[in-house]
Amino acid sequence: MRNLDITTLRAIVAVADHGGVTRAAAMLNLTQSAVSMQIKRLEEMLGLALFERANRRVALTASGEQLLRYARRILDLNDEAVARLTEPVYEGELSLGIPDDIVYPVVPRVLKQINAAYPRVNVNLRASNTVRLRAAFARGEMDLILTTEEGVEPGGETLTEIPLRWSGARGGHCWKRRPLRLAFTRACIFRSVVERRLDAAGIDWEMAVISDDVRAVEALVSADLAVGALLETSIPPQQEAIAAGDALPDLGAQKINLYARAGHDPMVGVLAGFLRQGFGGEAAVAARPRLALAEDAA
């Protein structure tokens, strides 16, 4: 079994790319005779002429052109393998906090990507709500957090924006009644947004339930006993978005913000980069208009 030598392959690529042995030798930091010897060794091993030598012009033969294509692929794989195996190996743990309603679909993809690229890094995921995540970050318990907020605090970075929608039971009518009955979890950051918008619009409302149990709130809204507010991308199948208009005020959009711990751990920056890429790819999807909105009662 004959084996191609990486050094000789670099020689043929250098000669082809730089138009001659002299320039190739300078690029490879070798003498002209050393480069010529490598080319000759390669031709002898294959039993093929790789360059035409009838004139001063450097030209590959048909066999040389074919080998050049293989040589580039082999060198690329060789260099990639060496770089990957000899680069600094990151290992350790990172803590990442995410609001429950933006975990899907981006976060699982990000975790899969970072595990493939840095298998010795363990990302501890905490799903909670923005209020609790901000408090944990302030106490130094989290390396990175994502939040849903109307604005962005100092040190934060907005990755994308997602519309905030009224949510109600499919085919429901609770949103037409007055006073408007609302259902929210106690720590839901959207509750204050809804209350302000309703007060500004002069719409009477009452709180049907404030619970710590997300499922209890979801059940009440799905039963058409109250309405809530959710990000457009997180409305469950048993509910539907209700169009804003004369009956209900527009709720605007929520910023998806990233806060990362300052320090010397390079993996914090790496994970932040994966999150930027992931949520950046969702921006166009989030901006698309939804067609399945409950009609306004105007």
pLDDT tens, position by position, 244-283: 988 999 999 999 999 999 887 889 999 999 999 898 855 4
What the block records as the tokens of 167 is 């949510």
User: Rounded to an integer, what distance in angstroms lies between the CA atom of residue 20 and that of residue 22?
Assistant: 6
Same domain, 59 and 128: no
Looking at residue 296, what is its pLDDT? 38
> Is 39 inside any structural domain?
yes
**Three-class HEC string of 159-228:** EEEEEEEEEEECCCCHHHCCCEEEEEECCCCHHHHHHHHHHHHCCCEEEEEEECCHHHHHHHHHCCCCEE
Same domain, 15 and 39: yes
The tens digit of pLDDT for each residue in 192-218 reads 999 999 999 999 999 999 998 999 999
Same domain, 139 and 263: yes
Looking at residue 275, what is its pLDDT? 95
Looking at residue 55, what is its pLDDT? 63
Q: Tell me the backbone φ, ψ of residue 206, rounded to 5 degrees.
A: -145, 155
Q: Of 86, 111, 133, which closes a domain?
A: 86
Q: Of 17, 52, 86, which closes a domain?
A: 86
The tens digit of pLDDT for each residue in 171-198 reads 999 999 999 999 999 999 999 999 999 9
Q: Of 67, 86, 105, which closes a domain?
A: 86
Q: Which residues contact 193 (CB under 8 A, 6 or more apart)?
A: 150, 164, 229, 251, 252
pLDDT at 161 over 80: yes
> Is 1 inside any structural domain?
no
Same domain, 266 and 191: yes
pLDDT at 298 over 50: no
Amino acid at 161: E
Q: Tell me the backbone φ, ψ of residue 263, rounded to 5 degrees.
A: 165, -160
> Per residue in 127-140, is it b (16+ CB within 10 Å) or e — as a string?
ebbbeebbebbeee
Closest to 220 measured CA to CA, from 165, 164, 172, 163: 172
Q: Which residue has tokens 């001063």?
A: 56
User: Rounded to an integer, what distance in angstroms lies between the CA atom of residue 221 and that of residue 247?
Assistant: 18
Q: Tell me the backbone φ, ψ of residue 62, rounded to 5 degrees.
A: -60, -40
Looking at residue 282, what is its pLDDT? 53
What the block records as the tokens of 138 is 């302030």
Domain count for the chain, please give it: 2
The tens digit of pLDDT for each residue in 96-120 reads 999 999 998 899 999 988 888 888 8
Same domain, 193 and 154: yes
Same domain, 78 and 99: no
- Decide the pairing of beta strands 239-242 and 156-169: antiparallel
User: Rounded to an integer, what distance in angstroms lies between the CA atom of residue 162 and that of residue 65?
Assistant: 52
Give yes or no for a contact between 21 and 13, defined as CB atoms under 8 angstroms apart.
Answer: no
Looking at residue 294, what is its pLDDT? 43
**Whole-number mean pLDDT of the chain?**
88
pLDDT at 79 over 90: no
Domain holding 49: CATH number? 1.10.10.10
> Is 226 inside any structural domain?
yes
Q: Range of 289's domain?
A: 90-298
